[in-house]
Structure 1
Amino acid sequence: MKLVIAIVQDEDAPKLVDNLMKNNYRITKLASTGGFLKSGNTTLLIGVEKEKVDDVIEIIKKLCKSRKQVTTSPSPTPMTGGVYIPYPVEVQVGGATIFVVDVDKFEKV
């Protein structure tokens, strides 16, 4: 048995969870925060048989594409007179970070 840990952007999580559940995968959903913009993420824990890992990863790849987003700079540029004016920055968001780990023991009680 394997544990797939997928960290995805909050925006991608609902469609991903729905799709995984339609394919009969059980999921534990955790709210998380991190990354460059300290934006909201969703961490999914998905326990699957070894043979199903590639299928789960393909579903994640299909639904969690990276894309560009315009946001204000995390550290505003100082202007004269001590006034800080944030400026727009284009950044990559989305995608997924996926870990697959072995499960020594699994019990459902």
Structure 2
Amino acid sequence: MKMIFAIVRKEDEGFVIERLNKEKISVTKLSSTGGFLRKGNATLMIGTEDEQVDTVLQIIKEECSRRQEVMMNPAYSAGTKGPVMGYAAPPVTIEVGGATVFIVNVEQFIKL
């Protein structure tokens, strides 16, 4: 048995959970934040049999594909604590999506 921890973007979590549930794979969601953009994430805890690991990984890969997104950054000036009103930095194209996945062996599983 394996425990899969998948850290995905908040925008992708629902699609992953729905697909896993269709395959009768249970998942527990933990809300989390972090990363470069400090955006909302979800950490999915998925306990599964060894034979289903490839299926889980394929679902995560399909639902969390990397894509380009345009981000509008407010302009900041040295010494200020917030954006400078009336000025805008140029939009930046960034790559979003994907997932960080950890797979660990489960020594014992007990459902109470």
For Structure 1 versus Structure 2, the TM-score category normalised by the shorter chain is 0.7 to 0.9
Matches within 5 A, 1:62-77: 62-73=62-73, 76=75
In 1: Cα distance, 2:24 partner to 2:8 partner:
20
Kindly tell me the number of residue pairs found equivalent between the two proteins.
Answer: 106
In 2: Cα distance, 1:40 partner to 1:106 partner:
30
Query: Which secondary structure does the structure 1 equivalent of 2:20 belong to?
Result: helix
Q: Aligned residue for 2:99?
A: 96
In 2: Cα distance, 1:49 partner to 1:59 partner:
15
| CA displacement, residues 47-101 of structure 1 (integer Å, 9 cap, x when unaligned) | 0011110110011111111111111348x4548xx88445221111111111100
Q: TM-score, normalised by structure 1?
A: 0.87
Unaligned 5+ segments in structure 2 are none
Superposed CA RMSD: 1.9
Q: Which moved more, 1:83-92 or 1:4-13?
A: 83-92
Q: Aligned residue for 2:40?
A: 40
Unaligned 5+ segments in structure 1 are none
Q: TM-score, normalised by structure 2?
A: 0.85
In 2: Cα distance, 1:3 partner to 1:69 partner:
31
In 2: Cα distance, 1:36 partner to 1:86 partner:
21
